[in-house]
Structure 1
Amino acid sequence: MNMNVSGIFGLIILLLDIWAIVNIVQSGATNGAKVLWIALVVLLPVLGLIIWFVAGPRGGRT
């Protein structure tokens, strides 16, 4: 049972990280900033996602 919960939590984090990366790529940030944000989300999946949600670039912004 506990294994199923952790697997579902991991899948949710993976999907949210992919969503964040897509939004970062579509944002109006510079390429250097995009690379740094993507690296943060990939290297620190949960913490990077939280930091991006609070302070990161959003899709469609210029």
Structure 2
Amino acid sequence: MQIEYIWIVLAVVLLLLELWAINIVLRSTGGWETKGLWVVVLVFVPLLGLIAWAMFGPKREMAQQRKS
């Protein structure tokens, strides 16, 4: 397998993860300001934004949903 194919596969995986994260953000119960900020971060800083969202984004909401 050539090295170019590996980069293409990694780019496609990153794109799919980004689209999944944006979908989760837009379906969340947070305010529009929070949603907009996360979408901007995810779009303009893809890899670091995805890592930050995974660390700080959904865990608070999931914990609140479990309590209800």
- TM-score normalised by the chain length of structure 2: 0.83
Question: Cα deviation per residue 1:32-56 (whole Å; 9 max; x = unaligned)?
Answer: 1100000000001100000000101
Contiguous gaps of at least 5 residues in structure 1:
none
Q: Which residue of structure 2 lines up, in the alignment, with residue 53 of structure 1?
A: 54
Where in structure 2 are the equivalents of 1:1-62 lying within 5 Å? 1-57=2-58
Question: Cα deviation per residue 1:4-49 (whole Å; 9 max; x = unaligned)?
Answer: 0000000000000000000000111100110000000000110000
CA RMSD after TM alignment: 1.8
Distance 1:10 1:3 in 2: 11
Considering Cα pairs closer than 8 Å and 6+ residues apart, tell me whether 1 or 2 has the greater RCO.
Answer: 1
8 Å CA contact 1:29–1:57 kept in 2: the answer is no
Which of these two proteins has the greater Rg computed from alpha carbons?
2
Aligned residues: 62
Distance 1:57 1:39 in 2: 16
Identity %: 31
